[in-house]
Structure 1
């Protein structure tokens, strides 16, 4: 018999209409999972209390997910190939959680399927189909963290939510392979953020943000360029010198960075900014968080 842990965190999939709009409702996901689960699977339920809208998800919630997964994995250690985890989660921060869990669980010999929906259960939308897809895929899928959504199973390490309304809301950008073997990883109390260059951005505004952070992902232009501003370079260099790690990624969804291709990017590398290569902002943030937590 297959063992499946269903970890319900919250999100649209388990919401119901209320006076102020959709809000988390207890019992919806649990009942649907029991109804849709394969007959030869034993379901273990772990439900966040209170349920969390994904807009509020952060490192403490990632750690809670990791604790539940570790406990389940230990219990099922003598059942290789017959145990897996499904995490129901809201779509707004699915890409952040996907990147965080993919990196924290690298090397875990067990499939972990993220699942969510654009419409709640019981509203004739995509919820039932996505949940059934995850329940079927988690029994036979390979180890690693993936997303079950809109009829597809995709790697969670490089998720991009590209549509805020339609069922085809996600795609996955290929990322560098994640190294094992598995070891316990958690997200420490650090101050990190994703920052974005834009035309006319005052160097002082960037410096002020960096002064509050232990690390930052900096979304730069194209293959790795930035405006030619000595004050901007100084702000980046001063932050790096005091120990703030800054990792650059492209504002383009695919293609990544290519340091040295353009002179306009030289100031980034002179200042000590790290090259995030093909990483999505979410993947780069997870990498920094994990490395600053070790």
Structure 2
């Protein structure tokens, strides 16, 4: 007898139309999963109460997901989740579960169940994938099984809304839980005042910096000094590209040399989400 753990956190997949727009409906997702189970599979379910919009999912919820996964050590897991922060949760679970041998398949949808959209197909794919065995964290979406390590929500409306960018292998993390460190993703833009960057970093313990192209930055001495001062103060800064694919290549352009001289880490092919999780679990 195979046991399957369903963690239903919320999201569009489990919503129904209401007078003010889509709203979560308790039990809807669970009934659809139960109706699809093959013979010999027992379902264990944990549904969040209240169900969450994915905009509310962050470090505290990632810890809860991990607690539930660890509390059911022999079960493959389907985690249903809204799409807006799916990339962050995908990176968080992928990196936190390295070396544990666990199988987790994320699932969400751009349209709710029973509305003639993508939800049923995504759920069918998730069940097929998780019951096939294996190790690792993937997303079942739009007919494809995508590695969750480098998810990018590419389109805010289309059913085929996700891409997965290849990521460098993650080692076993120093921590498997998310603490209270203050971390964020900051984007460097033309004309960004050094004082604004300094003010942001003053409130943070570390940051992911989205820089230009293959790893360049403006030649603003004041801004570069802000980065150097933050790194010297022990704030970890990790750079990633503002481009969706390709990553960084230190040394390709002289315009990036000051970035590395300031003590900023090379995030390579990290997505911003993956880089943020690397900082959290370091």
For this structure pair, what is the TM-score category when the shorter chain's length is used for normalisation?
over 0.9
**In the TM superposition, what is the alpha-carbon distance from 1:176 to its structure 2 partner?**
1.1
Q: Check conservation: 1:60, 1:187, Cα contact below 8 A.
A: yes
**In the TM superposition, what is the alpha-carbon distance from 1:15 to its structure 2 partner?**
1.0
**In the TM superposition, what is the alpha-carbon distance from 1:184 to its structure 2 partner?**
6.7
Matched ranges for 1:271-282 at <5 A: 271-282=262-273
Q: TM-score, with normalisation over the residues of structure 1?
A: 0.93
Tell me the residue number matched to 1:33. 33
Structure 1 SS opposite 2:42: strand
CA distance in 2 between partners of 1:212 and 1:174 (Å): 31
Q: TM-score, with normalisation over the residues of structure 2?
A: 0.97
Q: How many residues align?
A: 282
**In the TM superposition, what is the alpha-carbon distance from 1:37 to its structure 2 partner?**
1.8
Tell me the residue number matched to 1:139. 131
Residues 179-236 of structure 1 deviation map (CA, whole Å, 9 limit, x = unaligned): 34x9971000111110001111111111110110011000000000000000111110
Which blocks of at least 5 consecutive residues in structure 1 are unaligned?
A: 77-82
Tell me the residue number matched to 1:79. none
CA distance in 2 between partners of 1:131 and 1:152 (Å): 12
Structure 1 SS opposite 2:51: coil
The answer to whether 1:165 aligns with 2:157 is: yes
Tell me the residue number matched to 1:285. 276
Structure 1 SS opposite 2:91: helix
**256, 261, 269: which is aligned to 1:265?**
256
Structure 2 SS opposite 1:235: helix
**In the TM superposition, what is the alpha-carbon distance from 1:99 to its structure 2 partner?**
0.3
Which blocks of at least 5 consecutive residues in structure 2 are unaligned?
A: none
Tell me the residue number matched to 1:42. 42
Q: Check conservation: 1:192, 1:216, Cα contact below 8 A.
A: yes
**In the TM superposition, what is the alpha-carbon distance from 1:178 to its structure 2 partner?**
2.4
The answer to whether 1:152 aligns with 2:162 is: no
Runs of 4+ in 1 over 6 A off after TM superposition: none
Tell me the residue number matched to 1:253. 244
Tell me the residue number matched to 1:226. 217
**In the TM superposition, what is the alpha-carbon distance from 1:110 to its structure 2 partner?**
2.4
